[in-house]
Amino acid sequence: MSTPTSPAESSLPQRSSTLRSTNTTVTRQTSVSDDEAIPDTDSGETTNLLVERLRALKHMCAYLEDYVNATAKVQKSQSKDYEKVLKTVSDPLRESHHFSQSVGGVASLFENIRSNTQGMVNIYLDTERNLKGSVYPILERLHKDIKAKTKEVQAGASKSAKAVDKARGVTQKHIELLAQQTASFDATAGNKLEQQHDPYVLRRGINHRLNKQITEENNNRQEILAVQNNFQQFESHVIQTVQGALDQFFQFMGGQLDRQRAMYGDILASAQKVPPDFEWVNFAMRNDAVLIDPDSPPRSLANVNFPNQEHRATQALIEGSLERKSRAVIKGYSSGYYVVSPARYLHEFKDADDFRREPAPELSLYLPDCVIGAIDGVKFSVKGKDVSSSKVGNAFHTTTELSFKAGTPSEAEKWWSVIKDASRGPVAIAQAPAPEPAPEPAKEPAPSPTEPTSATSPISPAADNPPAYSEKNGEAGASAEKGADTEKVESQEAASPASGGISRTGSSATGPGTDEKKG
């Protein structure tokens, strides 16, 4: 049987800018998309491919084991029985697509074996003992090595792949929840949302879960990459072991007739022509899009985007550090990270870090249900009921007056203004600049000589003349009449285009629109 020729007989094929082969070095350039929170790729795709390749090598080894074993048995018979040897290699290799079909590879080696075995009809009976005692055990041990390698790859990748799939599922669930709640925020036009459905809190929760997901993905990637980098060395061992087994096989069969010696010599020569990295280099070229590029960078949270990441409901009206007076007298004030969200919640967090722990609020006050106290230098107070489910919030499930302290009087005034405006009604969130419609003179109240007339004034009317407490329905006392007048003036000022609710471009301690947060 003639052996097919191939243009790749003298040199290995190469693809420009995709693979560079110098001895046993394989280099691939594959770009990795970092702009999707949940990649479409299967975390176990590379592992499955490598396991399938090990299965192909195992079956290749099994073919050789059958070949040598059958040869040893056929030594007792004549040419008719020796045809059984040819039968063991008559079928194509399993998973033959894993092997190069050009001359010089594993596939051409088996074609050579089939061709030479066809002419072997005379067998020496005394070679049976040598074949079974020396050549066959080498291939048997190699077969066991391949099986052990397969179990090692499957066991090592299974756990990390499951962790990646689980982390991706959790992230996807919370991204869908954020989409639902941002849509609900837009549809309800500023109505009260449940604290746990605040899009700001959900967005920070997604950051936390994305960080955990990417950590699992990178750990899984490193494990698979380590296995992949070891594959070329392992395959070289497989090829070299096969070459050694066939070399001994040739030595034992050397006592046969010269024609048989020439046939087995041809088999050995065909096996020795296979470079240790020939099959791996060709395999890597054919599967360049599936194998991991060791030079590609790992994923980074800074390059990941997810739906509604920049939605207006997720951007704080004001955020920064404040001190809150503890209920225990001896403790005094304790520092915390506070945020006023567009959903009109005042949240307290331990810090601004989204990654070390779940960014769940320690304390949450729904400002429209609260009474805002007056400013006293750097201090102000908020009287309301905590709606969070944290351990800290359990102490404030009843209506409690909370005292806050800022770093400077101006910072305290910014916080008080934003909180005051958020307690009145929906807060205007600055988007792209747009011309304001001209107000009707007949409906606009006459401005007071003491009222600010600039439409870009950073201080709300509430900050110009802060009351001791905002009057709520149902409050009674000696100052009820005066509070009603104050509330009427404040509602008129809130309706005026010149002094609307505090926007994200207004004054805040560390909110957008100021330089204090940017530092």
Residue (of 92, 122, 128, 136) closest to 246 by Cα position: 136
**Cα distances (angstroms) measured from residue 134 to each of 48, 138, 237, 259:** 34, 7, 18, 23
Does 292 lie in the same domain as 196? yes
CB 256 within 8 A of CB 124: yes
Q: Please name every residue paired with 400 in a beta bridge, in sequence order, or none if there are none.
A: 384
103 and 236: one domain?
yes
Judge contact between 131 and 38, C-beta under 8 A. Answer: no
Query: Is 321 within the bounds of a domain?
Result: yes
φ/ψ of residue 402, rounded to 5: -105, 130
End-to-end CA distance of the chain: 80
By C-alpha distance, which of 518, 407, 411 is closest to 458? 411
Tokens coding 516 = 């204090």
Residue 442 lies in a domain: no
Q: Of the candidates 283, 303, 323, which is a domain's last residue?
A: 303
Structural domain includes residue 20? no
Q: Identify the pLDDT of residue 450.
A: 34
pTM for the whole thing?
A: 0.50
Same domain, 358 and 273: no
Q: If the chain, 519 residues long, is cut into consecutive pieces of 10 residues, what is the mean pLDDT of each piece? A: 40 37 39 59 76 93 92 74 79 86 86 84 74 92 93 76 79 85 78 80 85 82 82 92 92 78 88 90 89 88 89 94 80 90 94 89 92 93 87 64 92 95 73 44 39 36 41 37 40 38 40 39
Q: What angle do CA 253, 259, 262 make, to 5 degrees?
A: 65
Q: 381 and 232 share a domain? A: no
The amino acid that residue 165 corresponds to is D
Residues 326 and 276 in one domain: no
Domain stop point among 255, 270, 303: 303
Same domain, 409 and 486: yes
Question: What sign does the CA torsion over 202, 204, 210, 216 have?
Answer: negative
Residues 210 and 322 in one domain: no
447 part of a folded domain: no
H-helix segments, 189-306: 199-252, 258-272, 278-286
Alpha helices for 443-513 (secondary structure H): 461-464, 480-495
- 240 and 276 Cβ atoms separated by less than 8 Å: yes
Which two tokens mark 138?
Answer: 């080498």
| Same domain? 297 vs 330 | no
CB 373 within 8 A of CB 380: yes
Q: What SS3 state is found at 374?
A: coil
- 271 and 323 fall within a common domain: no
* Residue 439 included in any domain: no
- Residue 98 belongs to domain with CATH number: 1.20.1270
| Tally of structural domains, the chain | 2
Chain center to CA of 353? 19
Residue 475, amino acid: E
Residue 515 lies in a domain: no
- Hey, which residues does 380 pair with through a beta bridge? 404
- Tell me: do 322 and 292 sit in the same domain: no
Find residue 382's DSSP bridge partners.
372, 402
The reply to whether 397 falls in a domain is yes
pLDDT for residue 165: 78
Say what the pLDDT of residue 328 is.
61
Provide the domain limits for residue 377: 315-430+454-499
Tell me what pLDDT residue 154 has.
81
List the one residue out of 242, 247, 283 whose CA is nearest residue 265.
247
Do residue 166 and residue 138 come from a single domain?
A: yes
- Given this model, what pLDDT does residue 43 score? 60
Of 303, 327, 346, which marks where a domain is finished? 303
Give CA separation, 138 vs 23, 152, 378, 418, in Å. Answer: 27, 21, 84, 80
**Integer Cα distance of 404 and 208 in angstroms:** 28
DSSP state of 477: S
Q: Which CATH number characterizes residue 467's domain?
A: 2.30.29.30
For residue 340, give the nearest of 399, 424, 400 by alpha carbon.
424
Strand-pair category, 345-349 with 363-366: antiparallel
- Given this model, what pLDDT does residue 452 score? 34
Give domain status of residue 513, yes or no.
Answer: no
Answer yes or no: do 335 and 278 share one domain.
no
